[in-house]
Amino acid sequence: MAQGTVPSAAGAGGGGCPSASAAAAHPPPQPAFATGFYYAVELYFDPALENQVLKAWNALARRQLGSRLIDAAARPHLPLLHLPAAALPPPGTGAGGDPLLRLAPSLRALASRLDPLPLALSSLAALPASASSSPHDNVLFLAPTPSAALLGLHAQLCELLRKDASVEVPDAFRPDHWLPRCAVAVDVPRGRMAEAFCVLRELKLLPVSGYGMDIALVEVGPTVREVVSYPLGGSGSAGAD
């Protein structure tokens, strides 16, 4: 993928991954969360696929290569949309700024007419930290094969939220810009990306297949709070405590 980066052969090959003791000798600084928060629409996996992704999270955390996802109590997922809180319509316009009232009907309608979605996580890639973020905010992710069903689900979501909820989809999540990805670390220290790639290759997870099972609305800050979720092909819902 054009936006992914791959370490050089010199960085990932040769004598294999550095030893655990070598990695521990240079512990990364603790990342700081942004003071604000945003809402996300996420596609959750079936339990077997979720467990495979958790193996990657845990392997990287043990090597001090990224633990923010675990610390935030997140679930393995594909992000379908991120919305800053300020992007929601203000009170007094329709359902107001309440994210559940504004977004939930569209999510429920979409989930009810779709079956569980076949997924194949087939490659490993990375996004470097942006110039405005911490140098330790490098993202390592598993990229799914961009099937017509996956791209269609995302396009339908964007269209529903635009028409029914008056939500302006951010540029990065527009159907013609969206990069589907399942993050396995979002805080890899600069200079240790090649090591992180190596750790994941040793797990031999890929390719791994499963299903997208639920569409969830979550609030993302220092921790992740599920607001509501809807099973694909079902009419039930589950909200956060």
Please list, in sequence order, all residues whose beta carbon lies within 8 angstroms of the beta carbon of residue 125, skipping any fewer than 6 positions away: 1, 3, 4, 5, 6, 140, 141, 143, 181
Round to whole Å and give the CA distance between 220 and 217.
Answer: 10
CATH class for the region spanning 38-231:
alpha beta
SS3 234: coil
Residue-range domain boundaries for the chain: 38-231
Residue 1 token pair: 């993928």
pLDDT single digits (tens) 98-135: 777 778 999 999 999 999 999 999 999 999 877 556 66
pLDDT per residue as tens digits for the range 11-20: 334 455 654 3
Q: Record the pTM.
A: 0.81
Residue 212 CA to residue 53 CA, distance in Å, equals 13
pLDDT digits (tens, 9 = 90+) for 165-194: 888 899 999 999 999 999 999 999 988 999
